[in-house]
Amino acid sequence: MSIDIKTKCLHIESEEGYKNHYGSISYPIYQTATYAHPEVGCSTGFDYSRLQNPTRKQLEQTVEALENGIDALAFSSGMAAITALMEIFKPGDHLVTDADLYGGSIRLFDNINVKNGIEFSRVDCSRVEIEDYIKDNTKAIYIETPTNPMMRVIDIEKVAAIAKKHNLLLIVDNTFLSPYFQNPLDLGADIVIHSGTKFLGGHNDTIAGFVVTNREDISEKLRFIIKTVGSGLAPFDSWLILRGIKTLGIRMEKAEENAFEIVKYLQSEPKVKNVYYPGIPGTESYEISKRQARGFGSMLTFEVESAALAKHILKFTKLIPFAESLGGVETLLTYPCTQTHADVPEEERIANGITDCVLRMSVGIEAAVDLINDLKEAIDSYDGYKAQYI
Ligand SMILES: *Cc1c(COP(=O)(O)O)cnc(C)c1O
């Protein structure tokens, strides 16, 4: 039976169903490090929780179902997931990555993976000819779409075709849209990454990460890595993410609806110079999104007339906190140039459009009118304070 993604968030086709665990509707938290064996050569299926734990397994099967993969692995953070994934490469391997990635991923590649002999070319995959950067030792293409924070949409099927032609892996960080709106494996990707901290968890209360794949060979390698390096997600945190996923559908729908309202307001605001959101018609990002995703999500970026105004907004919104992260029920405002993208070389950051006038907003599920009033009051109160930022 094929079931809708909204239903998959609540019911996965697990081997055991509700037969076990006393019919518990909420999957139990197995807070155990180890498991007793009935006799030599026999196992309950679980031996030691670094390798696997029932609560983590339940979560992994849920995410695997949402992304249409054959395996999903839950890690202690999004960065732990990407770090583990990078272990499938060896010294001398080369990856082409998009230029507009999550800052933490760039920090990992530049400071840890490069040290281990892996090479990277960072290119704007939404605009340039990716094939020009593919070399004999290239092993993978690594993208995020929409990109962070400039919200450029990359055509996944087009990049997948290039990856297939050159026998490369295509890795897509799908954090921004979540599996609710986009499934990169269905579009030709081999590996999907998630920061589970964001939309999957959805409540700004748990750090988690995922690698999902539809390839047996990759799954086997990743299972070896997770048990060897020991960065799997803890049972309680696995349960929190499972609970978050139950409402993924309604959260994504409401947050997207709010995002549209806020975009409308920002576009009418003279002190706002640019609004970047894939749901704005008439752009290439919009057309690609219509083809490859079921929604536009609730992440948006906007550029205001001056850095002083950007800082003023961050200080004077009353409802919307100035905080890193995204994808939670609470709306957050982020300042990419000093927060998420502080470690990206300045020249590269500015070339990508991430100036000190740019704010990123993760829209939550509050009443849109309250969010708009909060932004409007902060922006309207600006003039009188100008001097204090100059
Ligand atoms: C937050 C984030 C990460 C890192 O995830 P953590 O859970 O914070 O370690 C990776 N990619 C994207 C797109 C993110 O937003």
pLDDT of residue 11: 83
What proportion of the chain, given as a percentage, has pLDDT over 90? 84
Q: How far is CA 197 from CA 72, 98, 188, 201, 314, in A?
A: 16, 22, 25, 5, 23
pLDDT of residue 30: 97
| Atom number of ligand 1 nearest to Cα 148 | 13
Q: Decide if 76 contacts 231 (C-beta within 8 A).
A: yes
DSSP character at residue 322: B
pLDDT of residue 81: 98
148 within a domain of the structure (yes/no): no
300 within a domain of the structure (yes/no): yes
Ligand 1 mean position, distance from CA 102 (Å): 7
Ligand 1 mean position, distance from CA 145 (Å): 13
Supply the CATH number for residue 326's domain. Answer: 3.90.1150.10
Would strands 358-362 and 299-304 be described as parallel, antiparallel, or unpaired?
A: antiparallel
31 within a domain of the structure (yes/no): no
256 within a domain of the structure (yes/no): yes
| Atom number of ligand 1 nearest to Cα 105 | 10
Residue 77's identity, in one-letter code, is S
Both tokens of 48, joined, read: 């030691």
pLDDT of residue 387: 47
Neighbour-count burial for 293-330, b at 16+ CB within 10 Å, e otherwise: bebbbbbbbbbbebbbbbbbbbebbeebebbebbbbbb
210 within a domain of the structure (yes/no): no
367 within a domain of the structure (yes/no): yes
- pLDDT tens digits for range 231-286: 999 999 999 999 999 999 999 999 999 999 999 999 999 999 999 999 999 999 99
Both tokens of 310, joined, read: 């950007």
**Which range of residues forms the domain containing residue 375?**
248-387
- Average pLDDT of the segment spanning 19-26: 84
State yes or no: pLDDT of 361 exceeds 50.
yes
Ligand 1 mean position, distance from CA 79 (Å): 6
Residues annotated as part of the active site: 50, 102, 173, 198
Q: How far is CA 271 from CA 78, 115, 381, 382, in A?
A: 35, 44, 12, 10
Ligand 1 residue neighbourhood (C-beta within 6 Å):
77-79, 102, 104-105, 144, 148, 173, 175, 195, 197-198, 207, 209
| Atom number of ligand 1 nearest to Cα 82 | 10
Return the closest-CA partner of residue 185 out of 211, 146, 151, 206.
Answer: 211
- pLDDT tens digits for range 143-171: 999 998 899 999 999 999 999 999 999 99
Q: CA-to-CA distance for 153 and 20, rounded, in angstroms?
A: 44
Both tokens of 200, joined, read: 């999957």
Ligand 1 mean position, distance from CA 326 (Å): 9
- Provide the domain count of the chain: 1
With tokens 């849920």, the residue in question is 62
